[in-house]
A and B are shown apart, each in its own frame.
Chain A
Amino acid sequence: MYKGKSIVKVINLVKIYKRGKIEVPALRGINLEIPTGKIIGIAGPSGSGKTTMLNIIGGLDTPTKGKVYVDDIDITTLNEKELSEYRLKKVGYIFQFYNLIPVLTALENVEVPMILSKIPKEERKRRAMELLKMVGLEDRVNHKPDEMSGGEQQRVAIARALANDPSIILADEPTGNIDTDTTIKIMNLIVNLNKHMNKTFIIATHDPIVMEKCEKVHKIRDGRILEET
């Protein structure tokens, strides 16, 4: 499929939710490879299963069947504790609603993953400052989330996602809650980070502006990959 190395390999991924006695299939056998260092889009309407897939790749959810290899490790075999370690070290997450911790400043929010991975205070602060500078928020470091615009909050979230230098960054509708101008700015930032830091981005979206910036977009519908564009 791709030339070069794949960082994520999804094999026959099935996820069935149980609502009482009714089984609701969210993923019906997904096969997917994500190459290292690219921006890959996952597109599809809501309910298509893109968030579920992202959650499984991100170690937040477990599949009913199938395998997910990230950096050649089958993450479906990891236990709860190993999964949190995986989320901490290997994955950066960007959410639609930014999901910053409201009591913490921009700087502290970026520090959280590094606190969790026990990086010494000095280094942590320095790196958080660096990352905030990278996303263009050096003058917002001491602002709390409710003192920032949506675009600014999302940039803090991006900085946070990069904090522990993860292998993959998962973004679930990262521009779903912000206007077009800001969307373009955010996407330019992501493209920049991808180029300069060689980070792999997997972005679930149905925003054409976002898809345009992706090197490849996988369309997903009713839990299946439709086609590749």
Chain B
Amino acid sequence: MEIWKMAFRNISRRKLRTTLTVLGIVVGVSLMLALFSLVSGMDVRVTQMVRALGGADITIYNATFPGRGGQPFGGFGTIMRGTLPIELLQQINQIPGVYIASPQLSFMGYLGSSRITIYGIDPSTYDEVTGGLNIIEGRGLKQEDKNKIVLGKTIVEASNITIGSKVKIGISATEQEDFEVVGVFETGVMFQENAGYITLEDAQRLTGYMGQISQILVKCEDPYIVSEVANTISNLIPGVRITTPTAMITQATQLLNTLTMFFATIGLVALLAGSFGVMNTMFMAISERTREIGILKAIGARNREILKMFLAEAIIIGALGGGIGIIIGAIITYILPMFIPGFIGIAPFIGGTTARGIRQIRTTQTFTPTLTPINIALCFSLGVLVGLLAGLYPAWRASKMKPVEALRHV
């Protein structure tokens, strides 16, 4: 205990030098914490995104519809944007590089009196294109289903609907048909779960858009040709808006990876530089206090005690750096997303992008680096460790000094 008290007073002797040395570690620790938070945020993120964006490589919309444009993933019009003729599906399927295309008719509908998003899908192709819904209860839709619906977990939990319940579904609160709930899906994102999936035929009948669809979801043969295929589609079929969710994910992931590498490199370099700072400070302290080392040895301090004393100082510097570093790191973690506008939205929107579209995605999908207690503890320890390691050699040198020579030092 006495050793720590003394170490603390000793490092307070040179406040500016100590502060600067501590700052060296702060930079490293805070960047490392930001990095760790970024990485922990990333895992959660990519899975969420794939779900959120429907999992298709390419989504095709009608771009000419003057209504509520710019909502590529489900806006709030009665029909999301304009429709496309079902015949287009054939055409898309013939484009080289397209593995399979799946039609979808989505609209803002009603479940009883509450508004939900309803997706009319083609069960035979939907799963192959998107990877399918995450069914947590009951079953998914089948091709031959009629007036059957799969509802989101949020809806089911908020009401007393269970598998087998009859619900009323329609384009308004009055024009409704009876549907039987056959399954419950989960995405983990609340707004996405405020939705129901029915067959395309049911959707077309409910909306009256016979032979019409609102989106075509495309899976490519190879994830690396997505942009190429998207370009072909937009050249071949005028008036469609195309988004490439998976390409966006890839790009976002790449950006995250770049950022990770960037932080890791800077963080490690900073920590290394910080450790040199600590070492330098310790050597300076030892050279200034050579005489004191001599005194302590003269009055009976063992080598080990001298070692401990100086190591304690290095550890305090490391701990201060670690402590302040995690605070600054936490701040960086929180403000980082603000400096990377539309983290996801910066991914290209082939076939026309509106500012609104980007905003829309961003508001629904904010990037959140995750600050975990483990990472905080880890980064703090990193600071302490750097102090300890950097202090080891100087402290050892101090402990090995010959008392007479040290005493002669002025």
Residues of A within 8 A of B145 (CB): none
Least CB distance from A34 to B in Å reads 19
Partner of A84, one of B2, B292, B302: B302
Secondary structure of the B side of the interface? helix
CA distance A119 to B401 in the complex (A): 26
A116 B305 Cβ-Cβ under 8 A: yes
Task: Using CB atoms, name the residue of chain A closest to B1.
Answer: A121
Least CB distance from B307 to A in Å reads 13
A112 B13 Cβ-Cβ under 8 A: no
A116 B301 Cβ-Cβ under 8 A: yes
- Given A103-B10, A103-B13, A116-B305, also A160-B299 (CB < 8 A): yes
B404 A103 Cβ-Cβ under 8 A: no
Task: Using CB atoms, name the residue of chain B closest to A124.
Answer: B2
Binds B, one of A41-49, A54-62, A178-186, A198-206: A54-62
Query: Does A87 make an interface contact (CB < 8 A)?
Result: yes
**Contact string against B for A residues 76-120, beta-carbon threshold 8 Å, 1 for contact and 0 otherwise:** 000011001101110101010001111110000001110111000
Query: Does B95 make an interface contact (CB < 8 A)?
Result: no
Report the contact-size class of chain B (Cβ under 8 Å from the partner): 20 to 34
A87 B303 Cβ-Cβ under 8 A: no
B404 A60 Cβ-Cβ under 8 A: yes
Least CB distance from A184 to B in Å reads 26
Partner of A55, one of B6, B10, B13, B404: B404
CA distance A55 to B405 in the complex (A): 11
Residues of A within 8 A of B294 (CB): 99
Least CB distance from A114 to B in Å reads 10
Least CB distance from A8 to B in Å reads 17
A61 B295 Cβ-Cβ under 8 A: no
CA distance A164 to B301 in the complex (A): 13
CA distance A117 to B9 in the complex (A): 22
CA distance A88 to B299 in the complex (A): 6
What is the interface size of chain A, counting residues whose CB is below 8 A from a CB of the partner? 29
Residues of B within 8 A of A91 (CB): 300
B9 A93 Cβ-Cβ under 8 A: no
Partner of B300, one of A61, A89, A95, A100: A89
Least CB distance from B53 to A in Å reads 62
Least CB distance from A109 to B in Å reads 10
Residues of A within 8 A of B404 (CB): 55, 60-61
**Contact string against A for B residues 312-330, beta-carbon threshold 8 Å, 1 for contact and 0 otherwise:** 0000000000000000000
Query: Does B81 make an interface contact (CB < 8 A)?
Result: no
CA distance A100 to B303 in the complex (A): 19
Residues of B within 8 A of A85 (CB): 300, 302
Partner of A101, one of B292, B302, B305, B403: B292
Partner of B303, one of A80, A99, A116: A80
Residues of A within 8 A of B9 (CB): 103-104
- Given A60-B407, A61-B404, A93-B298, also A84-B303 (CB < 8 A): yes
CA distance A60 to B407 in the complex (A): 10
Least CB distance from B45 to A in Å reads 51
Residues of B within 8 A of A81 (CB): 302-303
Query: Does B219 make an interface contact (CB < 8 A)?
Result: no
Residues of B within 8 A of A112 (CB): 296, 299
Residues of A within 8 A of B291 (CB): 99
B295 A101 Cβ-Cβ under 8 A: yes
Interface residues of A in 101-145 (CB under 8 A from B): 101-104, 111-113, 115-117
CA distance A78 to B308 in the complex (A): 23
Q: Which of B299, B302, B403 has the most CB of A within 10 A?
A: B299
- Given A60-B403, A60-B404, also A101-B298 (CB < 8 A): no
Residues of A within 8 A of B407 (CB): 60, 95, 99
A87 B13 Cβ-Cβ under 8 A: no
- Given A103-B10, A104-B6, also A87-B298 (CB < 8 A): yes
Residues of A within 8 A of B6 (CB): 101, 103-104
Query: Does B148 make an interface contact (CB < 8 A)?
Result: no
Task: Using CB atoms, name the residue of chain A closest to B3.
Answer: A115
Task: Using CB atoms, name the residue of chain A closest to B297.
Answer: A84
CA distance A80 to B203 in the complex (A): 91
Residues of A within 8 A of B300 (CB): 84-85, 87-89, 91, 113, 116-117, 164
CA distance A61 to B296 in the complex (A): 15
A116 B298 Cβ-Cβ under 8 A: no
CA distance A81 to B306 in the complex (A): 13
**Contact string against A for B residues 22-33, beta-carbon threshold 8 Å, 1 for contact and 0 otherwise:** 000000000000
Residues of B within 8 A of A111 (CB): 2
B13 A99 Cβ-Cβ under 8 A: no
Least CB distance from A92 to B in Å reads 8
Partner of A93, one of B2, B292, B299: B299
A113 B303 Cβ-Cβ under 8 A: no
CA distance A77 to B9 in the complex (A): 37
CA distance A117 to B2 in the complex (A): 13
Partner of A58, one of B10, B13, B295, B298: B298
Least CB distance from A46 to B in Å reads 13
CA distance A60 to B294 in the complex (A): 9
- Given A81-B302, A84-B303, also A101-B2 (CB < 8 A): no
CA distance A61 to B407 in the complex (A): 11
B302 A99 Cβ-Cβ under 8 A: no
**Contact string against A for B residues 396-410, beta-carbon threshold 8 Å, 1 for contact and 0 otherwise:** 000000011001000
Sample of 19 A–B contacts (CB below 8 Å): A55-B404, A60-B298, A60-B407, A84-B300, A87-B297, A87-B299, A88-B300, A89-B300, A91-B300, A101-B6, A101-B296, A102-B13, A103-B9, A103-B10, A104-B9, A112-B296, A115-B2, A116-B300, A160-B299
Known pairs A55-B404, A84-B297; list 10 more (Cβ under 8 Å): A60-B297, A60-B403, A85-B300, A87-B298, A93-B299, A95-B298, A101-B292, A102-B13, A112-B299, A161-B299
